[in-house]
Amino acid sequence: MTMADVEAESSTQPEAMEEENPLFSNLDLFLFTLIAGLIIYWFMSRKKAEPIPEFKKLDQPAPSTRETSFIEKMKKTGRNIVVFYGSQTGTGEEFANRLSKDAQRYGMKGMAADPEEYDMSELSRLAEIGNSLAIFCMATYGEGDPTDNAQDFYDWLQETDGELDGVNYTVFALGNKTYEHYNAMGAYVDKRLEELGAKRVFDLGMGDDDGNLEEDFVTWREQFWPAMCEHFGVEASGEDSSIRQYELKEHNDINMNKVYTGELGRLKSFETQKPPFDAKNPFLAPVTVNRKLNKAGDRHLMLHFLDEMVYESGDHVAVYPTNDTAIVNRLGQILGVDLDSVISLNNLDEESNKKHPFPCPTTYRTALTHYLDIIHPPRTNVLYELAQYATDPKDQENMRKMASSAPEGKALYQSFVLEDNRNILAILEDLPSLRPPIDHLCELMPRLQARYYSIASSSKVHPNSIHICAVLVEYTTKTGRLTKGVATTWLKNKLVADNGHKSTVPMYIRKSQFRLPFKASNPVIMVGPGTGIAPFMGFIQERGWLKEQGKEVGETVLYCGCRHKKEDYLYQEELEEAEKMGVITKLNVAFSRDQEQKVYVQHLLRTNKEDLWRQIHTDNAHIYICGDARNMARDVQTAFYEIAEELGGMTRTQATDYIKKLMTKGRYSQDVWS
């Protein structure tokens, strides 16, 4: 009997008792004393309760014990080459992995490394390792900026005055010639390392994604390794055999709650949404609007997402698309595999920070749908690695030839893969003798990357939603195959309600420097044909909101364009209403194909040159360009040069310097793509 039982029992005693009877008999007192003594003895003598063990949630990673010293890791694992990468879309990382694997073919040992994960101030210690070399595959992002994962390294390079004597290095830069600051990050790293005393052992490589980045890399790489062998006194006798980085583990009896189904980082993260939301932890935003923007055809679409994140006008939204189910199923069929098999690909290098090429354990179906890029034409290293599985000697020979820098091989890759736009499925269909193991294929395919869109709304006006504007990509290749853009096709099919459930899109916000001027009274000149108008819809909404708040708002001038007024004039009603309300001071629209001679935004700029020069030179206007970098942005910049020459009395050199100074001051901003 417990004390609770005693209390409960005594509470049931009758309230009315005869006064002459004592409250307790001797027996009652004896029993009460005995029970109380036993209870006290039990409390005093019982063992201390065992502490309740803490169980980690299944979806929480164990505390990180990751090595942050790449020097110690290299010493521990006998490596002498480290390949750092600055990568935004995964290409820089892919090249770094290829160079790291190459080292093994030349009797050396390499490791690919993300500079964000290591203490880069230890670079000076690299000389402690004999015959050591640091390779940097550095991509340039935006207006000559470092990629997100290389930002800290860039800051360290700028601030440090450390000595890098004895450090051997080389750099391969990834960029695009259509941009103003072509390969700026790679060139800076190359120059700065030399200034700090490091020794350049091979020339800076320049990769141009506007041309053929793969060809640039292959050519540089094939010249680089013989030079390294000579430098280190190593015999250039690399084996041609394939080197696997991961081994397959099949899970026949596993709790499906532990299997990734599309999450990017934390298991079950799509079921339990926890901020902060970023590239590895996207927010599932419900789709609230999905409609066509153009009056004819279905090229353009607009989506609104419900969003819990803070954004500003000019920011980008990154969305994670999924591949077409039909293509995934066809891959499974042609390779004769059960796509729902649960597998893991485990890194053979146990010391590597990258344990798997994508979240594992998962299924082949999930990997091919959510994690792997199966739509873009494969790079030459994929063809080289897969060639061993071709049973036709001619197919083997051609696949290996395409991976070389020989002119014949380059031409074959250009025509068969790039010009004919063959993805991995098309290659498998057109080479019947090629049937690789699906796990090796999954190891080699690059990761499916997020797609970035300029936000077409203002958080001041739409604090709880994000708008985007996109063009549906769809075309027929030379081989007669219909090719659809991964992201836009997927977005188009995101119905507001699907079988009673809201459609969701995994996404996160990417901050931008594309910002309205701090002083609202400054004029703004916005140039954005096609979907380049997207960020300006946010700017216009914000300028209208500022006017409503009683702020002094400067001139707001828009130059936009489309092909035909009656077909693809995007946001026509909204723009005309904004001009009517005085939010847009002047609306200039170029309908390029509504007349015999094509008219583009740069033509309208020249037409309004006097107003433009006054706004820029006298009234401190801010200029914003958004859209195609290859043609439009260049032509628009040339138009501004000509206006400065004519109305500012400048030479072309002076006009160029004038516009560059506006860029430096943040008064000429570009948000462009190629």
Is 180 labeled as ligand-binding? yes
d(CA 610, CA 46): 94
Is 459 labeled as ligand-binding? no
Instruction: State the burial class of residue 520 (Cβ atoms within 10 Å of its Cβ: 0-12, 13-18, 19+).
Output: middle
Which of 102, 395, 628, 671 is flagged as catalytic?
671
Is 102 labeled as ligand-binding? no
Is 16 labeled as ligand-binding? no
Cα angle for residues 328, 331, 334 (degrees, 5° grid)? 150
Is 79 labeled as ligand-binding? no
Q: 246: which residues sit within 8 A by CB, 6+ positions away?
A: 345, 346, 347, 348, 356, 357, 439, 443
Q: What is the dihedral of CA 273, 462, 561, 475, to 10 degrees?
A: 20
Q: Tell me the CA distances in angstroms from 266 to 280, 283, 303, 359, one per residue in order.
A: 8, 12, 27, 9
Residue 356 backbone phi and psi in degrees, to 5? -140, 155
Which of 220, 269, 626, 628 is flagged as catalytic?
626
d(CA 413, CA 408): 9
Is 183 labeled as ligand-binding? yes
Is 599 labeled as ligand-binding? yes
d(CA 384, CA 396): 9
Is 176 labeled as ligand-binding? yes
Is 124 labeled as ligand-binding? no
Is 545 labeled as ligand-binding? no
**What is the widest separation between alpha-carbon atoms in the chain?**
124
Nearest to 504 by CA among 216, 280, 288, 244: 288
Which of 156, 545, 613, 673 is flagged as catalytic?
673
Is 487 labeled as ligand-binding? yes
465 is catalytic: no
Is 471 labeled as ligand-binding? yes
Is 486 labeled as ligand-binding? yes
Is 453 labeled as ligand-binding? yes
Is 598 labeled as ligand-binding? yes
> Does residue 645 contact residue 652 with C-beta atoms inside 8 Å?
yes
Is 162 labeled as ligand-binding? no
Is 413 labeled as ligand-binding? no
Is 140 labeled as ligand-binding? yes
405 is catalytic: no
Instruction: State the burial class of residue 403 (Cβ atoms within 10 Å of its Cβ: 0-12, 13-18, 19+).
Output: buried
626 is catalytic: yes
Is 188 labeled as ligand-binding? no
Token pair belonging to 548 = 């409503």
671 is catalytic: yes
What 8-state DSSP symbol labels residue 454?
E
Residue 334 backbone phi and psi in degrees, to 5? -70, -25
d(CA 318, CA 376): 19
Which of 269, 454, 458, 669 is flagged as catalytic?
454
Token pair belonging to 557 = 């001038």
> Does residue 239 contact residue 225 with C-beta atoms inside 8 Å?
no
- Relative to beta strand 168-175, strand 133-141 is parallel
> Does residue 468 contact residue 315 with C-beta atoms inside 8 Å?
no
Is 265 labeled as ligand-binding? no
Is 218 labeled as ligand-binding? no
Is 90 labeled as ligand-binding? yes
End-to-end Cα, the chain, rounded Å:
82
Is 320 labeled as ligand-binding? no
Is 177 labeled as ligand-binding? yes
> Does residue 609 contact residue 636 with C-beta atoms inside 8 Å?
no
Element (H, E) at 396: helix 393-402
Is 485 labeled as ligand-binding? yes
Token pair belonging to 323 = 């591949």
Token pair belonging to 53 = 């063990």
Nearest to 133 by CA among 73, 216, 199, 205: 199
Nearest to 541 by CA among 312, 259, 252: 312
Is 469 labeled as ligand-binding? yes
183 residue type, one letter:
N
Is 565 labeled as ligand-binding? no
Is 179 labeled as ligand-binding? yes
Is 60 labeled as ligand-binding? no
d(CA 226, CA 342): 42
Is 336 labeled as ligand-binding? no
What 8-state DSSP symbol labels residue 556?
E
Residues with a catalytic annotation lie at 454, 626, 671, 673
Residues of the binding site: 87-92, 139-142, 174-183, 209, 299, 451-454, 469-471, 475, 485-488, 531, 592-593, 598-602, 635, 673
Residues of the binding site for FMN: 87-92, 139-142, 174-183, 209
Residues of the binding site for FAD: 451-454, 469-471, 475, 485-488, 673
Residues of the binding site for NADP(+): 299, 531, 592-593, 598-602, 635
